[in-house]
Amino acid sequence: MGTDARLVVVTGDQTAGRLALLRAAEDLRATEEALSRFWEHSELSRLNRLGTVIAGGRLLTAVREAVRAYEWSGGLLDPRVICSLENFGYGEGVPGGDVGGARPAEPLSPVDMSGWVDESGRISLPPGVRLDLAGVGKALGIGWAAAHLAGHAGLLVDVGGDVISLGTDDGGEPWNVAIMHHEPVGQFSGRSLAVATSTTRKRAWTAGGEEAHHLIDPRTGAPSRGDLAYATVSAPTILEADLAAKLLIIGGRAALSRLDDRLEAVVTDREGLTEVRAA
């Protein structure tokens, strides 16, 4: 998934634990093989090339969730951002330095995505549309991997700082998940956690001397210029946490009012001021 993954299972049955970890790791690889836009032979890459496929279960779920996220966010979480990313130099991977001047940014026009997936499981994209399912795909992949670790005293799946933890740690205590922004700014503790962080400070580079990063604001077609640099959200599910964190980065502090009472958020603005929005 283009990032580090950490899998932990706390169990008294070491044989079962090792088998569960193996299955969880294999499941993460299967998600990447299905949903990575960087793998030429992934199912998503095939969809982006052909425009239509009979989808397997992972791709079908991811596209459906991406459509729901687009509708829930009022269009701010738009999976059609590949061209925008490429315009700013993010093609085959995160650029290692300044990529020179970006091509002119163009806003993404609002679109009705409700007809993209039919009842047979066929996905059909409009001409010229390609999808980036990185955020949704990673969140779903974390959840699918965690399912293989269930039934033991505790589990943790951490992919690029997005975390599911259940039960207890190896000391028999509830899990503590640190909130890392420019520095540690707190932690979430509990026996059932789903925590995701979004930031403009990672997967970042420069384009013609200007700051660029991977979180595209579809209203401009350019990297988000909102007032928040970091957003960490704890939610009932990892998908909800991931979507809410990205919404806060793109929508800014004003988007805090859109989160329901089940979600807790910790945000840090571009000036380094951290704020907590309790559940």
CB 133 within 8 A of CB 79: yes
Predicted confidence at residue 114, as pLDDT, reads 94
Predicted confidence at residue 99, as pLDDT, reads 85
Is the whole-model pTM more than 0.75? yes
Q: Which domain holds residue 73?
A: 5-277
Q: Which residues of the chain have pLDDT under 70?
A: 1-2
Predicted confidence at residue 103, as pLDDT, reads 83
Predicted confidence at residue 274, as pLDDT, reads 97
The dihedral region occupied by 121, where left means phi > 0, alpha psi between -120 and 50, and beta the remainder, is left
Count how many domains the chain has.
1
The C-alpha atoms of residue 63 and residue 259 are separated, in whole angstroms, by: 23
The C-alpha atoms of residue 103 and residue 119 are separated, in whole angstroms, by: 38
Orientation of helix 14-35 relative to helix 43-50, angle to 10°: 10
Q: What is the CATH number of the domain that holds 234?
A: 3.10.520.10
Predicted confidence at residue 1, as pLDDT, reads 63
